[in-house]
Every structure is written in C-alpha cells, then in structure tokens.
Amino acid sequence: MKAIRIEKNGGPEVMNLAELPVPEAAAGQALVRIEAAGVNFIDVYQRTGLYPVQLPYVLGLEGSGTVEKTGPGVETLQAGDRVAWSGAPGTYAEYAAVPADRLVKIPEKIDFPEAAAAMLQGMTAHYLAVDTYPIRSGDTVLIHAAAGGVGQLLVQVARRRGARVLATVSTEAKAELARKAGADEVILYSREDFEQRVKSLTGGAGVDAVYDSVGQTTFLKSLACLKPRGMLVSFGQSSGKVTNFDPAMLGSGGSLYLTRPSLFHYIADRQSLERRASEVLDWIAGGELVLHIGQRLPLRDAAEAHRRLEARKTTGKVLLIP
C-alpha cells in the first residue's frame, strides 16, 4: 500500500510517499480501507517533533473508510461496515489497522469525506463548547481562526447554544466564511487590534470565554478580552508555543480561568466517544451543522497540504484522498 511516512522530524520535505505492507488486523482491531483522511495541525506538530512520535511514523490521526476484515475478539464490526475515527495513527495511507473501540459507524446520509471531516474537528468543537467552557444562552464568546475547520464548526455550535459570537479572521474572504457560519461580529485582526475591537463591541465588559487555537501571538490579548472570572480555552498553537506565562496574571486580570484541553481526554472511554461522535454526526446528517471542506488533495500531495495549512492558506477542512 501507499502511505506518507516520516523517518525524521522537519519540514514538509521529510514526508515521503512510501510503499509499505498492508497491516494485519490484530486482536481487537479492524483493517480499514481508507477513503478519506483528515489533515490537522496535530499532524504538523508530530512531523516537526513538537509532539514526539516514534520514528519511522505514518502520519494522520483521522479518517474514514470501509472495514475489510476484523481481528480476533471484534464482535461489533464486520466487513463492509462504513466507519470513521479520530485518535488512531496511520491515516495518511490506503489502509490502516485501527482499534475497534475507536471506530464509529457512519450514518447513511453522510459520505466518507464528510465523515473524515467531522471526527477530529467536529468533536473538538463539541467538547469545547459543551464541556470545557459550557456555553450558556446569553454568553458572549470570542473565537479565533473562525474560518478554519474547527473555527467554522465552533461558531455554529456556539450559536446553537445561544451565544453571541465574536470572531477573528485574517482576510475579507475568511470573514465571509465566518459570517456564513453564524458569527455576529467579525474582526479582521490584520487590520485592527482585536482586543480594542472586542472591548468596543462589549461596552468594555469583555467576553465570557475565548477559544484560542492560535497561541503565541494572541494569548495575552485573549486574556485581556475576558470578563472577570472569564475563561481562556487555549486549544492550539498555530503561531507557536506560549512561553514565560506568569499565573499571577490570572488574578490581576479578574480571577480568570485558563485551560489547555485535548480532545483525546474527552473521548478517552467508549461511552464518551459514542456520545460525542453520535451527536456531531446526527447534527450533520440533519443539516444542523454544516461542514465546509475547503480542499481535497491526493495522498501524494500531503506535503503540499501541510505547506498550505502552516501558511494559513486554507479554509475549512483539508482532506487527503488515497
């Protein structure tokens, strides 16, 4: 089978299209023929070494496809089942052996690209808005990178829960996507100071929560946008790691809360995974949550997908098609 493998950490140039044996389905696993694989910033972090992995390593943590065969002990799946998953490695490939307890069945109304686009980013938007900072009707929240894959879904979920949504983007084209997703106010951070704009839009009060996937360049201003006892949900670092943070700033800023969550802790057990995935997929199947698949690239172009993602030249979801 063809797969994108790295043998050392580095830039996109370390990603090689390799010919590898089709994996075997071990006990508790299913062999899946991959139809679509999601591209996410965590893949970039693993490629660069920011998140260490054992090399050589086949990239990709999110995908969808068809079960080819099951290993010993698997009773919940059979050949032909349409499935999707997040959190199991090796999806930048034509096949993957995936733990059966990580797989969820895809509703008939959802195709493979939609399922691959929904898993990591859809469940991320869900846990951020439903559990990490549970948005309540009447809240005002700030969402950075609102035209991205998580951003557009998070805007929709926040609006679904009754929030007023302020969103930041870098271009007019991305602003239109954020508005289409439901943002009440869109701030072009490339043209204006988002902290000052947030203060103006809230009458100086600030917001109840900030959802920040950008990291280094937005962190301090995100804190300054919060109301007293507001929460900064820092769930990514596309601009770099936050360093030299003094926790005393939380006190002086108004007894603020700071959290750095990860999806994998919110789907650690089967019950949590099934609940979260089923809600997201049901919303999509019912038209209540709209996916935006910005780019679909062939597997061989995985390095180009990473270049575009890192340069912030993508909107919505980026997929690789084996």
Could you write out the DSSP letters of every residue in 124-189?
Answer: HHHHIIIIIS---TT-EEEESSTTBHHHHHHHHHHHHTT-EEEEEESSHHHHHHHHHHT-SEEEET
| Radius of gyration from C-alpha coordinates of the chain | 20
- Report pLDDT digits (tens) over 239-298: 788 888 899 999 999 999 999 999 999 999 999 999 999 999 999 999 999 998 989 999
The identity of residue 176, as a single letter, is E
When pLDDT is averaged across residues 175-199 and rounded to a whole number, the result is 95
| pLDDT reading at 39 higher than 90 | yes
The pLDDT of residue 88 is above 90? yes
Question: 27, 97 in Cβ contact below 8 A?
Answer: no
Q: Can you give the residue range of the structural domain that contains 104? A: 2-120+264-321
When pLDDT is cut at 50, 70 and 90, the band that residue 152 belongs to is very high
For residue 244, the model assigns a pLDDT of 81
Q: Look over the chain and give the mean of its residue pLDDT values, rounded to a whole number.
A: 95
Please report the beta strands in 205-315, taking only residues with DSSP state E, as ranges in sequence order. 207-212, 226-234, 257-259, 293-298
Q: For the domain that residue 56 is a member of, what is the CATH number? A: 3.90.180.10
User: 191-247: per-residue pLDDT in tens?
Assistant: 999 999 999 999 999 999 999 999 888 899 999 999 999 999 999 877 788 888 899
**Is the per-residue pLDDT at 149 higher than 90?**
no
Question: Dihedral through CA 95, CA 97, CA 103, CA 106, nearest 10?
Answer: 20
Q: For 104-114, what is the mean pLDDT?
A: 95
Q: Determine the average pLDDT of the residues in 146-171.
A: 95
Residue 129 lies in a domain: no
Count structural domains, the chain: 2
**What per-residue confidence (pLDDT) applies to 242?**
84
Q: Across residues 160-187, what is the average pLDDT? A: 96
Question: How many DSSP H helices and E strands does the chain contain?
Answer: 10, 16
The reported pLDDT for the residue numbered 225 is 98
In a domain, 296, yes or no: yes
Local structure of residue 32 (DSSP, 8 states): E
Q: Which amino acid is at 2?
A: K
In this prediction, what percent of the chain has a pLDDT beyond 70?
100
Whether residue 21 is contained in a domain is answered as: yes
Q: Of 236, 260, 284, which marks where a domain is finished?
A: 260
Q: Does the residue 128 lie in any domain?
A: no
Last-in-domain residue among 260, 286, 306: 260
Judgement on whether residues 145 and 103 belong to the same structural domain of the protein = no
Query: Percentages helix, strand, coil for the chain, rounded to the nearest 5?
Result: 35, 30, 40
pLDDT at 78 over 80: yes
Same structural domain for residues 105 and 145?
no
Give residue 122's pLDDT: 94
- 69 assigned to some structural domain: yes
Contact (CB, 8 A) for 72 and 27: yes
Q: Tell me what pLDDT residue 312 has.
A: 80
Q: Are residues 158 and 226 in the same domain?
A: yes
Q: Does position 33 have pLDDT exceeding 90, yes or no?
A: yes
For residue 190, the model assigns a pLDDT of: 85
Question: For residue 239, what pLDDT is reported?
Answer: 76
Centre a 10 Å sphere on the Cβ of residue 226 and count the other Cβ atoms it contains. Answer: 24
The pLDDT score that the predictor gives to residue 209 is 98
On whether the CB atoms of residues 238 and 214 are closer than 8 A, the answer is: yes
